[in-house]
Structure 1
Amino acid sequence: MKTVSEFRKSKSKEKISIVTCYDYWSARIIDESDIDAALVGDSLAMVIHGYETTVNADIDLMALHTSAVKRGITNKLIIADMPFLAHRRGKDKLIENAGKLIKAGAQALKIEGGDQDTIDSIRYLIDSGIPVMGHLGLTPQSVHKFGGFKLRGKEKEEADFIIESAGKLEAAGCFGIVLEMVPSQIAKEVTEQISIPTIGIGAGMYMDGQVLVLHDMLGFNKDFSPKFLRKYMDGYSSIMDAVNAYSRDVKNGNFPNKNESY
Protein backbone atom coordinates (compact mmCIF):
# COMPACT_ATOMS: atom_id res chain seq x y z
CA MET A 1 0.00 0.00 0.00
CA LYS A 2 1.19 3.55 -0.79
CA THR A 3 0.74 5.23 2.58
CA VAL A 4 0.30 8.98 3.03
CA SER A 5 3.97 9.18 3.98
CA GLU A 6 5.03 7.27 0.88
CA PHE A 7 2.71 9.43 -1.19
CA ARG A 8 4.55 12.56 -0.05
CA LYS A 9 7.94 11.01 -0.76
CA SER A 10 6.92 10.13 -4.33
CA LYS A 11 7.38 13.73 -5.48
CA SER A 12 10.12 13.96 -8.11
CA LYS A 13 10.77 10.20 -7.76
CA GLU A 14 7.87 8.55 -9.54
CA LYS A 15 4.57 9.65 -11.03
CA ILE A 16 1.44 8.92 -9.00
CA SER A 17 -1.63 7.34 -10.61
CA ILE A 18 -5.08 7.79 -9.07
CA VAL A 19 -8.55 6.88 -10.32
CA THR A 20 -11.96 7.45 -8.80
CA CYS A 21 -13.67 4.45 -7.25
CA TYR A 22 -17.26 4.38 -6.06
CA ASP A 23 -18.22 0.74 -5.44
CA TYR A 24 -17.12 -2.77 -4.49
CA TRP A 25 -16.74 -4.38 -7.91
CA SER A 26 -14.46 -1.68 -9.30
CA ALA A 27 -12.57 -1.52 -6.00
CA ARG A 28 -11.60 -5.18 -6.37
CA ILE A 29 -10.19 -4.49 -9.84
CA ILE A 30 -8.28 -1.41 -8.69
CA ASP A 31 -6.93 -3.34 -5.71
CA GLU A 32 -5.18 -5.79 -8.07
CA SER A 33 -4.04 -3.09 -10.51
CA ASP A 34 -0.92 -0.91 -10.69
CA ILE A 35 -2.92 2.17 -9.60
CA ASP A 36 -1.44 3.91 -6.54
CA ALA A 37 -4.56 5.30 -4.88
CA ALA A 38 -8.35 5.35 -5.15
CA LEU A 39 -10.41 8.52 -4.77
CA VAL A 40 -13.98 8.18 -3.57
CA GLY A 41 -14.92 11.42 -5.26
CA ASP A 42 -18.09 13.40 -4.76
CA SER A 43 -18.30 13.17 -8.55
CA LEU A 44 -20.26 10.01 -7.73
CA ALA A 45 -23.28 12.29 -7.39
CA MET A 46 -23.06 12.88 -11.14
CA VAL A 47 -21.52 9.64 -12.41
CA ILE A 48 -23.50 7.16 -10.32
CA HIS A 49 -26.63 9.04 -9.23
CA GLY A 50 -27.25 11.25 -12.27
CA TYR A 51 -27.22 14.68 -10.64
CA GLU A 52 -26.03 17.67 -12.64
CA THR A 53 -23.35 18.70 -10.13
CA THR A 54 -21.42 17.29 -7.17
CA VAL A 55 -23.23 19.41 -4.58
CA ASN A 56 -25.93 16.74 -4.17
CA ALA A 57 -23.46 14.39 -2.49
CA ASP A 58 -23.87 14.56 1.28
CA ILE A 59 -21.78 13.02 4.05
CA ASP A 60 -23.98 9.93 4.41
CA LEU A 61 -23.83 9.19 0.68
CA MET A 62 -20.05 9.62 0.69
CA ALA A 63 -19.71 7.33 3.70
CA LEU A 64 -21.91 4.68 2.06
CA HIS A 65 -19.76 4.57 -1.07
CA THR A 66 -16.51 4.78 0.92
CA SER A 67 -17.48 1.71 2.95
CA ALA A 68 -18.24 -0.22 -0.26
CA VAL A 69 -14.84 0.72 -1.69
CA LYS A 70 -13.07 -0.25 1.52
CA ARG A 71 -14.57 -3.73 1.37
CA GLY A 72 -12.96 -4.20 -2.04
CA ILE A 73 -9.58 -2.54 -1.45
CA THR A 74 -6.93 -3.92 0.88
CA ASN A 75 -3.64 -2.53 -0.45
CA LYS A 76 -4.27 0.91 -1.93
CA LEU A 77 -4.54 4.35 -0.34
CA ILE A 78 -8.22 5.36 -0.13
CA ILE A 79 -8.94 9.10 -0.24
CA ALA A 80 -12.51 10.37 0.21
CA ASP A 81 -13.96 13.75 -0.70
CA MET A 82 -15.46 15.92 2.01
CA PRO A 83 -18.73 16.91 0.32
CA PHE A 84 -20.27 20.33 -0.18
CA LEU A 85 -20.35 22.44 3.02
CA ALA A 86 -19.27 19.50 5.20
CA HIS A 87 -16.33 21.46 6.61
CA ARG A 88 -18.16 24.77 7.13
CA ARG A 89 -20.44 24.01 10.08
CA GLY A 90 -18.10 24.52 13.02
CA LYS A 91 -15.34 22.37 14.49
CA ASP A 92 -17.65 19.85 16.14
CA LYS A 93 -19.52 19.14 12.91
CA LEU A 94 -16.25 19.15 10.98
CA ILE A 95 -14.81 16.39 13.18
CA GLU A 96 -18.10 14.48 13.12
CA ASN A 97 -18.25 14.53 9.30
CA ALA A 98 -14.58 13.69 8.89
CA GLY A 99 -14.95 10.88 11.40
CA LYS A 100 -17.78 9.33 9.40
CA LEU A 101 -15.57 9.04 6.32
CA ILE A 102 -12.55 7.75 8.23
CA LYS A 103 -14.67 5.17 10.06
CA ALA A 104 -16.20 4.16 6.72
CA GLY A 105 -12.72 3.26 5.45
CA ALA A 106 -11.00 6.37 4.12
CA GLN A 107 -7.36 6.81 5.12
CA ALA A 108 -7.30 10.45 4.02
CA LEU A 109 -9.70 13.21 2.99
CA LYS A 110 -9.72 15.68 0.11
CA ILE A 111 -11.13 19.16 0.67
CA GLU A 112 -11.79 21.78 -2.01
CA GLY A 113 -10.77 25.43 -1.74
CA GLY A 114 -8.01 27.80 -0.71
CA ASP A 115 -9.83 30.45 1.31
CA GLN A 116 -8.76 31.07 4.90
CA ASP A 117 -11.75 29.30 6.48
CA THR A 118 -11.00 26.16 4.45
CA ILE A 119 -7.31 26.28 5.32
CA ASP A 120 -8.18 26.68 9.02
CA SER A 121 -10.46 23.64 8.80
CA ILE A 122 -7.76 21.61 7.06
CA ARG A 123 -5.18 22.54 9.69
CA TYR A 124 -7.62 21.55 12.46
CA LEU A 125 -8.23 18.14 10.89
CA ILE A 126 -4.53 17.50 10.37
CA ASP A 127 -3.80 18.52 13.96
CA SER A 128 -6.49 16.01 14.94
CA GLY A 129 -4.63 13.22 13.14
CA ILE A 130 -6.55 13.11 9.85
CA PRO A 131 -4.46 13.39 6.64
CA VAL A 132 -5.84 15.90 4.13
CA MET A 133 -5.27 16.54 0.42
CA GLY A 134 -6.09 19.98 -0.97
CA HIS A 135 -7.91 20.81 -4.21
CA LEU A 136 -7.48 24.04 -6.21
CA GLY A 137 -8.44 25.42 -9.60
CA LEU A 138 -11.83 24.23 -10.75
CA THR A 139 -13.46 23.19 -7.51
CA PRO A 140 -16.70 21.51 -8.65
CA GLN A 141 -18.53 22.22 -5.40
CA SER A 142 -18.30 25.91 -6.35
CA VAL A 143 -19.66 25.36 -9.86
CA HIS A 144 -22.59 27.75 -9.30
CA LYS A 145 -20.19 30.45 -8.16
CA PHE A 146 -17.96 29.94 -11.21
CA GLY A 147 -20.88 29.68 -13.64
CA GLY A 148 -19.96 26.26 -14.98
CA PHE A 149 -17.13 23.76 -15.31
CA LYS A 150 -14.54 26.10 -16.76
CA LEU A 151 -10.77 26.52 -16.87
CA ARG A 152 -9.54 28.42 -13.81
CA GLY A 153 -6.46 30.58 -13.48
CA LYS A 154 -6.45 32.22 -16.89
CA GLU A 155 -6.56 35.68 -15.35
CA LYS A 156 -3.57 36.85 -13.29
CA GLU A 157 -5.58 37.50 -10.12
CA GLU A 158 -6.99 33.99 -10.08
CA ALA A 159 -3.66 32.43 -11.06
CA ASP A 160 -1.97 34.27 -8.19
CA PHE A 161 -4.66 32.99 -5.82
CA ILE A 162 -4.04 29.39 -6.88
CA ILE A 163 -0.27 29.74 -6.49
CA GLU A 164 -0.54 31.47 -3.13
CA SER A 165 -3.17 29.03 -1.84
CA ALA A 166 -1.00 26.04 -2.77
CA GLY A 167 1.73 27.36 -0.48
CA LYS A 168 -0.79 27.88 2.32
CA LEU A 169 -2.18 24.36 1.94
CA GLU A 170 1.33 22.94 2.14
CA ALA A 171 2.02 25.03 5.25
CA ALA A 172 -1.23 23.78 6.80
CA GLY A 173 0.06 20.22 6.45
CA CYS A 174 -1.59 18.82 3.32
CA PHE A 175 0.16 15.75 1.91
CA GLY A 176 -0.78 16.62 -1.68
CA ILE A 177 -2.88 18.97 -3.81
CA VAL A 178 -5.20 18.28 -6.74
CA LEU A 179 -5.12 20.93 -9.46
CA GLU A 180 -8.16 20.75 -11.72
CA MET A 181 -8.65 22.58 -15.03
CA VAL A 182 -5.67 24.90 -14.61
CA PRO A 183 -3.35 26.18 -17.40
CA SER A 184 -0.32 23.92 -17.58
CA GLN A 185 2.18 26.72 -16.93
CA ILE A 186 0.37 27.71 -13.72
CA ALA A 187 0.27 24.06 -12.67
CA LYS A 188 3.99 23.78 -13.45
CA GLU A 189 4.74 26.80 -11.27
CA VAL A 190 2.78 25.34 -8.38
CA THR A 191 4.46 21.95 -8.78
CA GLU A 192 7.91 23.53 -8.69
CA GLN A 193 7.04 25.83 -5.77
CA ILE A 194 5.80 23.26 -3.24
CA SER A 195 7.43 20.17 -1.76
CA ILE A 196 4.30 17.99 -1.72
CA PRO A 197 2.93 16.14 -4.77
CA THR A 198 0.56 17.83 -7.19
CA ILE A 199 -2.10 15.69 -8.85
CA GLY A 200 -3.60 16.97 -12.08
CA ILE A 201 -6.87 16.58 -13.88
CA GLY A 202 -6.91 18.84 -16.89
CA ALA A 203 -3.77 20.59 -15.62
CA GLY A 204 -1.16 19.40 -18.10
CA MET A 205 1.96 17.27 -18.10
CA TYR A 206 4.11 18.90 -15.42
CA MET A 207 2.30 17.40 -12.45
CA ASP A 208 3.61 14.83 -9.99
CA GLY A 209 0.65 12.59 -10.79
CA GLN A 210 -2.74 12.39 -12.45
CA VAL A 211 -6.29 11.48 -11.50
CA LEU A 212 -9.16 10.56 -13.81
CA VAL A 213 -12.73 9.47 -13.26
CA LEU A 214 -12.72 5.71 -13.88
CA HIS A 215 -15.95 5.78 -15.86
CA ASP A 216 -14.59 8.54 -18.11
CA MET A 217 -11.26 6.84 -18.89
CA LEU A 218 -13.14 3.62 -19.67
CA GLY A 219 -15.41 5.45 -22.12
CA PHE A 220 -18.69 4.66 -20.38
CA ASN A 221 -20.07 8.14 -21.14
CA LYS A 222 -20.01 8.48 -24.93
CA ASP A 223 -21.07 12.15 -24.75
CA PHE A 224 -18.25 13.29 -22.45
CA SER A 225 -14.98 14.02 -24.26
CA PRO A 226 -13.16 17.06 -22.80
CA LYS A 227 -9.71 17.92 -24.13
CA PHE A 228 -7.90 16.56 -21.07
CA LEU A 229 -9.55 13.13 -21.15
CA ARG A 230 -7.85 10.11 -22.71
CA LYS A 231 -10.22 7.17 -23.13
CA TYR A 232 -8.48 3.84 -22.68
CA MET A 233 -11.40 1.79 -23.97
CA ASP A 234 -14.80 2.28 -25.58
CA GLY A 235 -16.75 0.96 -22.63
CA TYR A 236 -20.11 2.26 -23.82
CA SER A 237 -19.98 0.33 -27.10
CA SER A 238 -18.52 -2.78 -25.47
CA ILE A 239 -21.30 -2.93 -22.89
CA MET A 240 -23.98 -2.14 -25.46
CA ASP A 241 -22.72 -4.95 -27.70
CA ALA A 242 -22.64 -7.38 -24.77
CA VAL A 243 -26.15 -6.68 -23.47
CA ASN A 244 -27.59 -6.76 -27.00
CA ALA A 245 -25.86 -10.10 -27.65
CA TYR A 246 -27.37 -11.44 -24.43
CA SER A 247 -30.83 -10.17 -25.43
CA ARG A 248 -30.54 -11.83 -28.85
CA ASP A 249 -29.49 -15.14 -27.30
CA VAL A 250 -32.44 -15.06 -24.90
CA LYS A 251 -34.93 -14.20 -27.64
CA ASN A 252 -33.71 -16.86 -30.09
CA GLY A 253 -33.45 -19.56 -27.45
CA ASN A 254 -29.64 -19.86 -27.45
CA PHE A 255 -29.33 -18.92 -23.77
CA PRO A 256 -29.26 -20.91 -21.62
CA ASN A 257 -28.11 -24.05 -23.42
CA LYS A 258 -27.79 -27.57 -21.99
CA ASN A 259 -24.33 -26.92 -20.57
CA GLU A 260 -25.69 -23.88 -18.71
CA SER A 261 -28.59 -25.79 -17.20
CA TYR A 262 -28.71 -27.91 -14.01
Structure 2
Amino acid sequence: MSVNARSAAVTPRGILARKGGEPLVCLTAYTTPMARLVDRHCDIVLVGDSVGMVLHGLPDTLGVTLDMMILHGKAVRRGLERSLLVVDMPFGTYEETPEQAFRNASRLMAETGCGAVKIEGGQSMESTIRFLTRRGIPVMAHIGLTPQAVHMLGGYRVQGRGDDAAHILRDAEAVAQAGAFSVVLEKVPAALADRITAAITIPTIGIGASVNCDGQILVIDDMLGMFQDFQPKFVKRFARIGEIAKSAIADYAAAVRARQFPNETHVFTDAPAVEQGEP
Protein backbone atom coordinates (compact mmCIF):
# COMPACT_ATOMS: atom_id res chain seq x y z
CA MET A 1 0.00 0.00 0.00
CA SER A 2 1.45 3.39 -0.97
CA VAL A 3 1.84 6.25 1.49
CA ASN A 4 -0.68 8.31 -0.49
CA ALA A 5 -3.22 5.49 -0.23
CA ARG A 6 -2.99 5.59 3.57
CA SER A 7 -4.86 8.86 3.94
CA ALA A 8 -7.82 8.01 6.18
CA ALA A 9 -7.38 8.18 9.94
CA VAL A 10 -6.42 4.81 11.41
CA THR A 11 -8.72 3.29 14.05
CA PRO A 12 -8.47 0.30 16.40
CA ARG A 13 -11.05 -1.49 14.27
CA GLY A 14 -8.91 -0.81 11.21
CA ILE A 15 -5.84 -2.23 12.96
CA LEU A 16 -7.78 -5.36 13.90
CA ALA A 17 -8.80 -5.80 10.26
CA ARG A 18 -5.13 -5.82 9.24
CA LYS A 19 -4.53 -9.21 10.88
CA GLY A 20 -2.49 -11.30 8.46
CA GLY A 21 -2.25 -8.44 5.96
CA GLU A 22 0.34 -5.80 5.18
CA PRO A 23 2.65 -5.48 8.22
CA LEU A 24 1.72 -2.74 10.66
CA VAL A 25 4.32 0.01 11.06
CA CYS A 26 4.55 1.32 14.62
CA LEU A 27 6.95 3.73 16.33
CA THR A 28 7.09 5.63 19.59
CA ALA A 29 7.02 9.41 19.70
CA TYR A 30 7.05 11.82 22.62
CA THR A 31 7.01 15.29 21.03
CA THR A 32 5.04 17.23 18.41
CA PRO A 33 7.93 17.59 15.92
CA MET A 34 8.66 13.86 16.00
CA ALA A 35 4.97 13.04 15.66
CA ARG A 36 4.81 15.13 12.49
CA LEU A 37 7.75 13.21 11.05
CA VAL A 38 6.39 9.73 11.73
CA ASP A 39 2.70 10.34 11.01
CA ARG A 40 3.05 10.00 7.23
CA HIS A 41 4.62 6.56 7.52
CA CYS A 42 3.14 4.88 10.60
CA ASP A 43 -0.10 3.06 11.31
CA ILE A 44 0.31 3.36 15.08
CA VAL A 45 2.22 5.97 17.06
CA LEU A 46 2.77 4.98 20.68
CA VAL A 47 3.50 7.40 23.49
CA GLY A 48 5.33 4.80 25.53
CA ASP A 49 6.21 5.06 29.18
CA SER A 50 9.75 4.60 27.87
CA VAL A 51 9.58 8.41 27.75
CA GLY A 52 10.70 8.30 31.38
CA MET A 53 14.02 6.73 30.41
CA VAL A 54 14.46 8.31 26.98
CA LEU A 55 13.60 11.94 27.74
CA HIS A 56 13.58 12.23 31.54
CA GLY A 57 16.64 10.18 32.46
CA LEU A 58 14.84 7.78 34.78
CA PRO A 59 16.48 4.39 35.46
CA ASP A 60 13.31 2.50 34.45
CA THR A 61 9.64 3.16 33.63
CA LEU A 62 8.33 2.79 37.18
CA GLY A 63 8.64 6.49 38.03
CA VAL A 64 6.49 7.63 35.10
CA THR A 65 3.25 9.32 36.17
CA LEU A 66 -0.14 9.72 34.54
CA ASP A 67 0.46 13.46 34.28
CA MET A 68 3.68 12.81 32.34
CA MET A 69 1.84 10.55 29.91
CA ILE A 70 -0.90 13.13 29.45
CA LEU A 71 1.64 15.89 28.81
CA HIS A 72 3.46 13.91 26.12
CA GLY A 73 0.22 12.45 24.76
CA LYS A 74 -1.12 15.96 24.12
CA ALA A 75 2.11 16.95 22.41
CA VAL A 76 2.05 13.96 20.07
CA ARG A 77 -1.66 14.40 19.34
CA ARG A 78 -0.91 17.88 17.97
CA GLY A 79 1.48 16.38 15.43
CA LEU A 80 -0.74 13.58 14.08
CA GLU A 81 -3.32 13.60 11.33
CA ARG A 82 -3.82 9.95 10.39
CA SER A 83 -1.86 7.54 12.61
CA LEU A 84 -3.64 5.87 15.53
CA LEU A 85 -2.38 7.40 18.76
CA VAL A 86 -1.94 4.89 21.59
CA VAL A 87 -0.78 6.00 25.04
CA ASP A 88 0.73 3.77 27.73
CA MET A 89 -0.98 3.43 31.09
CA PRO A 90 1.86 3.95 33.58
CA PHE A 91 2.70 1.69 36.48
CA GLY A 92 0.21 1.88 39.35
CA THR A 93 -2.67 3.38 37.36
CA TYR A 94 -4.55 0.23 36.34
CA GLU A 95 -3.42 -2.82 38.32
CA GLU A 96 -5.51 -2.36 41.47
CA THR A 97 -9.02 -2.82 40.06
CA PRO A 98 -10.82 -2.55 36.71
CA GLU A 99 -12.59 0.51 38.09
CA GLN A 100 -9.27 2.21 38.83
CA ALA A 101 -8.13 1.37 35.31
CA PHE A 102 -11.28 2.84 33.81
CA ARG A 103 -10.98 6.11 35.74
CA ASN A 104 -7.41 6.64 34.64
CA ALA A 105 -7.86 5.38 31.07
CA SER A 106 -10.90 7.59 30.52
CA ARG A 107 -8.96 10.59 31.80
CA LEU A 108 -6.02 9.71 29.56
CA MET A 109 -8.24 9.48 26.49
CA ALA A 110 -10.25 12.62 27.30
CA GLU A 111 -7.22 14.81 27.93
CA THR A 112 -4.93 13.57 25.15
CA GLY A 113 -7.39 12.69 22.40
CA CYS A 114 -5.72 9.30 21.94
CA GLY A 115 -7.58 6.48 20.21
CA ALA A 116 -6.50 3.68 22.56
CA VAL A 117 -4.47 2.88 25.66
CA LYS A 118 -1.84 0.19 26.21
CA ILE A 119 -1.54 -1.90 29.36
CA GLU A 120 0.98 -4.53 30.33
CA GLY A 121 0.04 -8.02 31.46
CA GLY A 122 -1.71 -11.11 30.15
CA GLN A 123 -3.98 -13.38 32.13
CA SER A 124 -3.74 -11.13 35.19
CA MET A 125 -5.21 -8.26 33.16
CA GLU A 126 -7.90 -10.24 31.34
CA SER A 127 -10.79 -8.95 33.47
CA THR A 128 -9.47 -5.38 33.30
CA ILE A 129 -9.18 -5.44 29.51
CA ARG A 130 -12.70 -6.84 29.25
CA PHE A 131 -14.00 -4.15 31.65
CA LEU A 132 -12.38 -1.36 29.62
CA THR A 133 -13.33 -2.56 26.15
CA ARG A 134 -16.95 -3.09 27.17
CA ARG A 135 -17.01 0.55 28.24
CA GLY A 136 -15.66 1.96 25.01
CA ILE A 137 -11.92 2.10 25.71
CA PRO A 138 -9.86 0.29 23.05
CA VAL A 139 -6.91 -1.59 24.55
CA MET A 140 -3.59 -2.65 23.11
CA ALA A 141 -2.14 -5.40 25.29
CA HIS A 142 1.55 -6.02 26.03
CA ILE A 143 3.00 -9.40 27.07
CA GLY A 144 6.35 -11.16 27.21
CA LEU A 145 8.92 -8.80 28.68
CA THR A 146 6.78 -6.21 30.43
CA PRO A 147 9.12 -3.41 31.60
CA GLN A 148 6.86 -2.33 34.46
CA ALA A 149 7.41 -5.79 36.00
CA VAL A 150 11.15 -5.79 35.36
CA HIS A 151 12.04 -6.43 39.01
CA MET A 152 9.71 -9.42 39.20
CA LEU A 153 11.11 -10.78 35.93
CA GLY A 154 14.72 -10.52 37.08
CA GLY A 155 15.76 -7.87 34.61
CA TYR A 156 15.27 -7.28 30.90
CA ARG A 157 15.36 -10.97 30.04
CA VAL A 158 13.83 -12.92 27.16
CA GLN A 159 10.49 -14.36 28.28
CA GLY A 160 8.84 -17.57 27.12
CA ARG A 161 11.73 -19.99 26.92
CA GLY A 162 11.23 -23.63 27.88
CA ASP A 163 8.27 -24.34 30.13
CA ASP A 164 7.40 -20.62 30.27
CA ALA A 165 6.26 -20.68 26.63
CA ALA A 166 2.88 -22.15 27.54
CA HIS A 167 2.30 -19.34 30.04
CA ILE A 168 3.05 -16.64 27.45
CA LEU A 169 0.75 -18.34 24.94
CA ARG A 170 -2.05 -18.37 27.52
CA ASP A 171 -1.40 -14.66 28.14
CA ALA A 172 -1.86 -13.96 24.42
CA GLU A 173 -5.05 -15.98 24.23
CA ALA A 174 -6.42 -14.26 27.35
CA VAL A 175 -5.94 -10.70 26.08
CA ALA A 176 -7.38 -11.59 22.68
CA GLN A 177 -10.46 -13.16 24.23
CA ALA A 178 -10.87 -10.17 26.55
CA GLY A 179 -11.21 -7.79 23.60
CA ALA A 180 -7.79 -6.23 23.01
CA PHE A 181 -7.45 -5.09 19.39
CA SER A 182 -3.73 -5.95 19.23
CA VAL A 183 -0.91 -7.21 21.42
CA VAL A 184 2.75 -6.26 21.70
CA LEU A 185 5.10 -9.23 22.01
CA GLU A 186 8.32 -8.04 23.58
CA LYS A 187 11.50 -10.06 23.76
CA VAL A 188 10.04 -13.53 23.22
CA PRO A 189 11.62 -16.33 21.14
CA ALA A 190 10.76 -16.14 17.44
CA ALA A 191 9.22 -19.62 17.33
CA LEU A 192 6.89 -18.73 20.20
CA ALA A 193 5.94 -15.42 18.56
CA ASP A 194 5.11 -17.31 15.36
CA ARG A 195 2.99 -19.74 17.32
CA ILE A 196 1.11 -16.92 19.04
CA THR A 197 0.61 -15.01 15.79
CA ALA A 198 -0.97 -18.09 14.22
CA ALA A 199 -3.09 -18.92 17.26
CA ILE A 200 -4.85 -15.64 18.03
CA THR A 201 -7.21 -13.50 15.96
CA ILE A 202 -5.72 -10.09 16.81
CA PRO A 203 -2.56 -8.57 15.31
CA THR A 204 0.74 -9.22 17.05
CA ILE A 205 3.24 -6.37 17.13
CA GLY A 206 6.79 -7.49 17.69
CA ILE A 207 9.72 -5.87 19.42
CA GLY A 208 12.45 -8.43 19.72
CA ALA A 209 10.02 -11.16 18.67
CA SER A 210 9.60 -12.53 15.11
CA VAL A 211 9.80 -11.34 11.53
CA ASN A 212 6.39 -12.97 11.07
CA CYS A 213 4.50 -10.80 13.57
CA ASP A 214 1.64 -8.77 12.10
CA GLY A 215 3.60 -5.58 12.80
CA GLN A 216 6.77 -4.18 14.34
CA ILE A 217 7.52 -1.38 16.80
CA LEU A 218 10.70 0.32 17.97
CA VAL A 219 11.54 3.23 20.24
CA ILE A 220 12.19 6.13 17.87
CA ASP A 221 15.39 7.23 19.62
CA ASP A 222 16.81 3.70 19.34
CA MET A 223 15.94 3.41 15.66
CA LEU A 224 17.49 6.80 14.87
CA GLY A 225 20.69 6.03 16.75
CA MET A 226 20.30 8.76 19.33
CA PHE A 227 22.12 6.59 21.88
CA GLN A 228 25.65 5.21 21.51
CA ASP A 229 26.00 3.59 24.94
CA PHE A 230 24.28 0.33 24.01
CA GLN A 231 22.22 -1.25 21.25
CA PRO A 232 19.70 -3.99 22.09
CA LYS A 233 19.86 -7.04 19.82
CA PHE A 234 16.38 -6.31 18.46
CA VAL A 235 17.21 -2.75 17.37
CA LYS A 236 18.42 -1.82 13.92
CA ARG A 237 19.79 1.70 13.64
CA PHE A 238 18.36 3.20 10.49
CA ALA A 239 20.35 6.39 11.09
CA ARG A 240 23.08 7.65 13.41
CA ILE A 241 21.60 10.94 14.51
CA GLY A 242 23.50 10.88 17.79
CA GLU A 243 26.85 10.89 16.03
CA ILE A 244 25.71 13.67 13.69
CA ALA A 245 24.50 15.72 16.66
CA LYS A 246 27.79 15.26 18.55
CA SER A 247 29.74 16.47 15.55
CA ALA A 248 27.43 19.44 14.97
CA ILE A 249 27.60 20.51 18.64
CA ALA A 250 31.39 20.28 18.59
CA ASP A 251 31.51 22.39 15.42
CA TYR A 252 29.20 24.97 16.98
CA ALA A 253 31.31 25.22 20.12
CA ALA A 254 34.49 25.60 18.09
CA ALA A 255 32.92 28.30 15.89
CA VAL A 256 31.74 30.32 18.91
CA ARG A 257 35.13 30.13 20.62
CA ALA A 258 36.87 31.16 17.42
CA ARG A 259 34.38 34.02 16.90
CA GLN A 260 33.42 32.52 13.55
CA PHE A 261 29.78 32.39 14.66
CA PRO A 262 27.81 34.54 14.52
CA ASN A 263 29.07 36.53 11.55
CA GLU A 264 27.59 39.46 9.68
CA THR A 265 24.93 37.29 8.06
CA HIS A 266 23.48 36.32 11.45
CA VAL A 267 23.18 39.75 13.10
CA PHE A 268 20.89 42.72 12.56
CA THR A 269 21.67 46.27 11.46
CA ASP A 270 19.78 49.57 11.44
CA ALA A 271 18.47 48.87 7.94
CA PRO A 272 14.67 48.48 7.54
CA ALA A 273 13.36 45.08 8.61
CA VAL A 274 12.13 44.17 5.14
CA GLU A 275 15.65 44.48 3.78
CA GLN A 276 16.85 41.96 6.34
CA GLY A 277 14.28 39.34 5.51
CA GLU A 278 12.22 39.91 8.64
CA PRO A 279 8.44 39.34 8.55
TM interval, short-chain normalised: over 0.9
Within 1, Cα distance between the matches of 2:241 and 2:233? Answer: 18
* Match status 1:110 vs 2:118: yes
Partner of residue 73, structure 2: 66
Superposed CA offset, 1:192-231 (max 9, x none): 0111110000002110110000000111110121211100
> Alignment partner for residue 24 of structure 1, among 21, 32, 48?
32
Partner of residue 140, structure 2: 133
Partner of residue 37, structure 1: 44
> Alignment partner for residue 3 of structure 1, among 11, 24, 28?
11
Partner SS, residue 38 of structure 1: strand
Within 1, Cα distance between the matches of 2:10 and 2:138? Answer: 14
Equivalent residues of 1:24, 1:72 under 8 A apart:
yes
Partner of residue 189, structure 2: 183
> Alignment partner for residue 144 of structure 1, among 151, 175, 190?
151
* Deviation at residue 173 of structure 1 after TM alignment: 0.7
* Deviation at residue 56 of structure 1 after TM alignment: 0.9
Q: How many residues align?
A: 259
Partner SS, residue 223 of structure 1: coil
Partner of residue 211, structure 1: 217
Equivalent residues of 2:123, 2:174 under 8 A apart:
no
Q: Which amino acid aligns with 2:177?
A: A
Within 2, Cα distance between the matches of 1:123 and 1:68? Answer: 29
Within 1, Cα distance between the matches of 2:192 and 2:98? Answer: 33
TM-score, normalised on structure 2?
0.90
Q: Which amino acid aligns with 1:190?
A: I
* Deviation at residue 89 of structure 1 after TM alignment: 3.0
Within 2, Cα distance between the matches of 1:86 and 1:8? Answer: 26
Give the % identical residues.
40
Q: Which amino acid aligns with 2:240?
A: D
Distance 1:243 1:180, change over 3 A: same
Within 1, Cα distance between the matches of 2:98 and 2:146? Answer: 22
* Deviation at residue 30 of structure 1 after TM alignment: 1.4
* Deviation at residue 105 of structure 1 after TM alignment: 2.2
> Alignment partner for residue 162 of structure 1, among 162, 168, 176?
168
* Deviation at residue 88 of structure 1 after TM alignment: 2.1
Question: Could you list the runs of 5+ residues in structure 2 that have no partner in the other structure?
Answer: 1-8, 269-279
TM-score, normalised on structure 1?
0.95
Pairwise CA RMSD: 1.2
* Match status 1:171 vs 2:171: no
Q: Which amino acid aligns with 1:186?
A: L
Within 2, Cα distance between the matches of 1:90 and 1:176? Answer: 22
Within 1, Cα distance between the matches of 2:20 and 2:96? Answer: 37
Equivalent residues of 1:55, 1:84 under 8 A apart:
yes
Equivalent residues of 1:216, 1:224 under 8 A apart:
no
Distance 1:91 1:167, change over 3 A: closer
